[in-house]
Amino acid sequence: MSLTHISLNDFRNIKALSFSPSKDLNLILGQNGSGKTSLLEAIYFLSNGRSFRTNKYKMMIRSDQDKCVVHGKKQLHNLSIPIGISKNQSGETQLRIQGQASRKIAELAQILPVQVITPESYELFFGGPKERRKFLDLGVFHVEHLFYEVWKNFNKVLKQRNALLRTKPTNCVEQIKFWDKQFIDLSEQINIYRKAYISRFEGYFFDKIGGISSVFDGLETRYDAGWKGELSEVLQSQLERDLKLGYTSRGPHKADFNFKIHGHSVEGIMSRGQLKLLLYALKITQNNLIEQETDKQSILLIDDLPSELSSETLECVARLLANCNSQLFISAISSESLTPVVELLEKDIEMFHVEHGRLITN
Ligand SMILES: Nc1ncnc2c1ncn2[C@@H]1O[C@H](COP(=O)(O)OP(=O)(O)OP(=O)(O)O)[C@@H](O)[C@H]1O
């Protein structure tokens, strides 16, 4: 149920390449600037329609070319599903799923659950709640099939409400009250989906992953729904403030899902190496849970795995990865730096060497 074939055209420094990855572990090796991250970025683009390293889509298109294209084949039970995505210089995205044009990136994301870990992924702990909400909602999106519709509808209502708070038409209070009925109903549904997912996430983490390292002893998750008490009362009491601010200050769009260790925030107390371990543990929990609940193998992209890790931490990452059921794509400059990982993983391994945007299979 993995990605069985990948091809890229005019993506970053890659003119054209195609390869058939292993269902387990793929090592993407090459010198600085060879194109390793670009390859991982292309797989992410195939699932998400955007890059994990820039908002400027034009950066993904090879210099002087009109568009970048990525194709893949995803095995789902005994079906091989061809999927493809392209983006041109004007920002137009074209999607194809099983030979049919599609307009919904969410359909691609459903077929291909992808998560990424880069040296910048610490943002999950140091950044604002947005990154953590994104992490949480990715899991909810995959395991709760109705969540996406509810979430989309909520965002439409939020947009309407915020427009009224900003523009303040004469009857805006009545209009806001009209939208609040839907706002409350959708918010409560989102909250129920998120809470149900978190309970399964915690169950999996503490059962299967937490025991792998003592670094996780005393870990707790904290969920903040984005409001406290009855939402109707909160909206009412915040209305004057929201009118001044010009946006809705309480609701599920302000939720947070964070992590404490012995009651302290993890980012304040854990070292960078320990945070990195936690990051792996959380992402692996999420991917394994998606697989367990949906029967779809997810993908974990890891850019520059050995960077900043002592040999002890690297071994612990290897133990975590040994418990990861995802199809893995790991980039590094040399295979030697990954020896502790490769030795521990009893997985089917393929190694790919990238040189100047070209791929050489060993
Ligand atoms: N749009 C583009 N068109 C052509 N080349 C590009 C484009 N964007 C980036 N590049 C080049 O692609 C090359 C590959 O970059 P990439 O970040 O994938 O390398 P890498 O192998 O991950 O390197 P590192 O180990 O340093 O992280 C770089 O030389 C970069 O300058």
How many whole angstroms separate alpha carbon 105 and alpha carbon 102?
A: 8
> 32 CA to middle of ligand 1, Å?
8
Question: Average of pLDDT values for 142-147?
Answer: 94
Residue 301: the pLDDT is 98
Q: Whose CA is nearest to atom 18 of ligand 1?
A: 35
Domain ranges of the chain: 1-113+296-362, 126-294
> 34 CA to middle of ligand 1, Å?
6
Question: In ligand 1, which atom is closest to the CA atom of 63?
Answer: 3
Residue 313 marked as a ligand binder: no
> 33 CA to middle of ligand 1, Å?
5
How many whole angstroms separate alpha carbon 130 and alpha carbon 278?
A: 18
* Least confident among 143-157, 159-173, 330-344: 330-344
ipTM (interface predicted TM): 0.98
> Who's near 8: CB < 8 A, 6+ residues apart?
14, 16, 17, 18, 39, 42, 68, 69, 70, 71
* Least confident among 67-71, 118-122, 175-179: 118-122
- Four-point Cα dihedral 51, 54, 56, 61, nearest 10: -50
Q: Whose CA is nearest to atom 11 of ligand 1?
A: 13
Cα angle 280-258-187, degrees, rounded to a multiple of 5? 120
Q: Could you write out the DSSP letters of every residue in 232-272?
A: HHHHHHHHHHHHHHTS--SSGGG-EEEEEETTEEHHHHS-H
Residue 33 marked as a ligand binder: yes
Question: Tokens in use for 178?
Answer: 């009209």
Question: In ligand 1, which atom is closest to the CA atom of 34?
Answer: 21
Model confidence over 134-144: pLDDT tens digits?
Answer: 999 999 999 99
Model confidence over 150-169: pLDDT tens digits?
Answer: 999 999 999 999 999 999 99
244 C-beta neighbours (distance < 10 Å), count: 9
Rounded to the nearest integer, the mean pLDDT of the chain is 94
Residue 119: the pLDDT is 87
Residue 36 marked as a ligand binder: yes
The whole-model pTM stands at 0.94
> 81 CA to middle of ligand 1, Å?
29
Pairing of strands 3-11, 14-19: antiparallel
> 334 CA to middle of ligand 1, Å?
17
Model confidence over 103-131: pLDDT tens digits?
Answer: 899 999 999 999 999 988 988 999 999 99
* Least confident among 174-183, 225-234, 248-257, 339-348: 339-348
Question: Average of pLDDT values for 4-25?
Answer: 96
Question: Average of pLDDT values for 224-251?
Answer: 97
Please state which CATH number belongs to domain 1-113+296-362. 3.40.50.300
How many whole angstroms separate alpha carbon 68 and alpha carbon 186?
A: 37
Which of helix, strand or coil describes residue 222?
strand
Q: Whose CA is nearest to atom 27 of ligand 1?
A: 32
> 360 CA to middle of ligand 1, Å?
17
Question: In ligand 1, which atom is closest to the CA atom of 61?
Answer: 1
3-state DSSP helix/strand/coil % of the chain, to nearest 5 = 50, 25, 30
Domain 126-294 has CATH 3.90.226.30: no
Q: Using the 8-state DSSP alphabet, how is residue 207 labeled?
A: I
> 267 CA to middle of ligand 1, Å?
31
How many whole angstroms separate alpha carbon 14 and alpha carbon 12?
A: 6
Question: In ligand 1, which atom is closest to the CA atom of 30?
Answer: 21
Residue 35 marked as a ligand binder: yes
Q: Whose CA is nearest to atom 14 of ligand 1?
A: 35
Question: Average of pLDDT values for 281-286?
Answer: 96
135 C-beta neighbours (distance < 10 Å), count: 17
Question: Tokens in use for 281?
Answer: 């543990």
How many H-runs (helices) and E-runs (strands) does the chain carry?
A: 11, 15
Residue 120: the pLDDT is 87
Residue 30 marked as a ligand binder: yes
> Who's near 208: CB < 8 A, 6+ residues apart?
285, 288, 323
- Residues in contact with ligand 1 by the CB-under-6-Å rule are 12-13, 30, 32-38, 59, 61-63
